[in-house]
């Protein structure tokens, strides 16, 4: 989830106009996947109530049942959107609107930071325990493939799980939406710098899906306008059995209608007023890596709030940049038009 930042980059504005034309014409969504194709095991870790990109990422994953096998959803609290109770409530709203509230596990995670919580990991209870233990459990579950951890908020829950059980490092692949790498700043990163440092220090597959506010090379460029959402999203998704009260009030029975409401209550930015679906773009490139540029680099160090290149570090990580916003948004809207719900999990 990303905090509000003003964006004035001409490249983003021009590209946004191009997306509007393409998507309005039906888009060029990639195939959604064969029913017999292997599904990626995914666990989404989210600060669901901060803005609106987490909700769209979560619905996108839950509606991609031909591509993803969702093990569960864990939640953390960043400085926007209230404490963990409010963050969990928003994640539950989305699950309910996707008709999966009793079919996909939802676990409350950390209110506090990695440094605050780590000394208590061996105690009988600690802040974020349900999420941390669930991540460890699903990482160790018998499976033919690694578990993809998709943190789209701060890295606290994931870092705590690695600290509590280092054995999961060989069983997971972390794809984190965060950082302006190589530049400093970025909301998810700033919410727990020590968690980022810890994950960078562990020998675990780690991929950074960059944000890069105001530039055309990060997920900040994957933008939609309020008008596009208003035209494309009403009524989209399965219908919930009972109305769900939204965080801004009102009641909703489809995620599509809730999406419209979320956009009606958010501050837009950019020369073409719009919002970036940062987190959804991260999920999209897990589904189809061809929609971004992948670069393998020596793992950098995070010193203070700035990165230092790890030119001699034998451990490498992946940096994702240059996102194909047209293909990603076309697939998002195609998924909303014809959702394929993920398979139910044991609760």
273-304 confidence digits (pLDDT tens): 999 999 999 999 999 999 999 999 999 999 99
* Predicted pLDDT of residue 40: 98
207-242 confidence digits (pLDDT tens): 999 999 999 999 999 999 999 999 999 999 999 999
- Minimal CA–CA distance to 75: which of 13, 175, 11, 150? 150
Whether 182 has a pLDDT exceeding 50, the answer reads yes
300-342 confidence digits (pLDDT tens): 999 999 999 988 889 999 999 999 999 999 999 999 999 999 9
36-52 confidence digits (pLDDT tens): 678 999 999 999 999 99
10-27+38-289+318-337 adopts what CATH topology?
A: Inosine-uridine Nucleoside N-ribohydrolase; Chain A (3.90.245)
pTM for the complete prediction? 0.91
Buried b / exposed e over 15-35, threshold 16 CB at 10 Å, is bbeebbebbeeebebbebbee
Instruction: Map out the domains of the chain as residue ranges.
Output: 10-27+38-289+318-337
Confidence category of residue 11, pLDDT binned at 50, 70, 90: very low
153-176 confidence digits (pLDDT tens): 999 999 999 999 999 999 999 999
Whether 7 has a pLDDT exceeding 70, the answer reads no
Confidence category of residue 347, pLDDT binned at 50, 70, 90: confident
């Amino acid at each position: 989830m990303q905090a509000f930042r003003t964006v004035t980059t001409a490249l983003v504005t021009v590209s946004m106009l191009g997306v509007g034309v393409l998507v309005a014409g039906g888009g060029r969504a990639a195939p959604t996947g064969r029913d017999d194709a292997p599904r990626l095991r995914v666990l989404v870790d989210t600060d669901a109530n901060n803005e609106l990109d987490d909700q769209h990422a979560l619905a996108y994953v839950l509606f991609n049942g031909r591509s993803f096998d969702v093990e569960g959803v864990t939640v953390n609290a960043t400085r926007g959107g209230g404490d963990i109770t409010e963050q969990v409530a928003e994640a539950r709203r989305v699950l309910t609107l996707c008709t999966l509230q009793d079919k996909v596990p939802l676990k409350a995670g950390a209110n506090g930071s990695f440094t605050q919580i780590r000394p208590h990991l061996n105690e009988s209870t600690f802040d974020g325990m349900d999420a941390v233990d669930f991540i460890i459990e699903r990482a160790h579950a018998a499976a033919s493939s690694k578990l993809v951890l998709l943190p789209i908020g701060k890295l606290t829950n994931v870092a705590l799980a690695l600290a509590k059980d280092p054995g999961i490092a060989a069983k997971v692949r972390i794809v984190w939406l965060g950082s302006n790498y190589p530049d400093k700043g970025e909301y998810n990163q700033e919410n727990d710098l020590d968690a980022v440092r810890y994950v960078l220090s562990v020998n675990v597959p780690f991929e950074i899906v960059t944000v890069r506010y105001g530039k055309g090379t990060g997920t900040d460029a994957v933008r939609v306008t309020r008008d596009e959402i208003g035209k494309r999203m009403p009524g989209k998704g399965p219908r919930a059995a009972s109305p769900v009260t939204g965080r801004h009030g009102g009641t909703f029975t489809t995620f599509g209608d809730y999406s419209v409401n979320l956009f009606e209550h958010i501050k837009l930015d950019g020369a073409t007023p719009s919002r970036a679906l940062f987190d959804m773009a991260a999920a999209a490139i897990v589904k189809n890596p061809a929609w971004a540029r992948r670069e393998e680099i020596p793992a950098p160090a995070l010193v203070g709030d700035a990165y230092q290149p790890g030119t001699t570090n034998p451990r490498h990580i992946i940096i994702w940049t240059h996102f194909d916003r047209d293909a990603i948004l076309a697939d998002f809207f195609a998924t909303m038009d014809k959702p394929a719900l993920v398979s139910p999990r044991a609760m």
